């Protein structure tokens, strides 16, 4: 009976370890996806800022606008 309990405990521990590894991988992928999203949003913000700056530059007439 003890050997059987020990074997079942080992199997349970292995299953639990596999689940923990899978969960860890899932967390890493989720963090990576969030990081990519943040980088994309930052790039979009920079592009918008560049467009605004370009419009401002186009509005300034030659000669410095004096």
Position 63 scores a pLDDT of 65
Position 45 scores a pLDDT of 96
Position 64 scores a pLDDT of 57
Show the tokens assigned to 31. 């963090």
Position 3 scores a pLDDT of 65
Task: State how far the Cα of 26 lies from the Cα of 47, in Å rounded to an integer.
Answer: 32
Radius of gyration, alpha carbons of the chain: 29
Task: State how far the Cα of 4 lies from the Cα of 7, in Å rounded to an integer.
Answer: 5
Position 35 scores a pLDDT of 98
Q: What is the mean pLDDT of each run of 10 residues along the chain (66 residues)?
A: 76 92 98 98 96 84 60
Task: State how far the Cα of 46 lies from the Cα of 56, in Å rounded to an integer.
Answer: 15
Q: Extract long-range pairs of 26-35: CB within 8 Å, 24+ residues apart.
A: none
């Amino acid at each position: 009976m003890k050997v059987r309990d020990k074997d079942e405990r080992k199997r349970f521990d292995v299953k639990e370890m596999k689940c923990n590894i899978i969960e860890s991988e899932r967390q890493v992928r989720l963090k990576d996806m969030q990081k990519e999203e943040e980088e994309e949003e930052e790039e979009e913000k920079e592009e918008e800022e560049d467009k605004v700056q370009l419009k401002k530059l186009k509005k300034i007439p030659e000669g410095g606008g004096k």
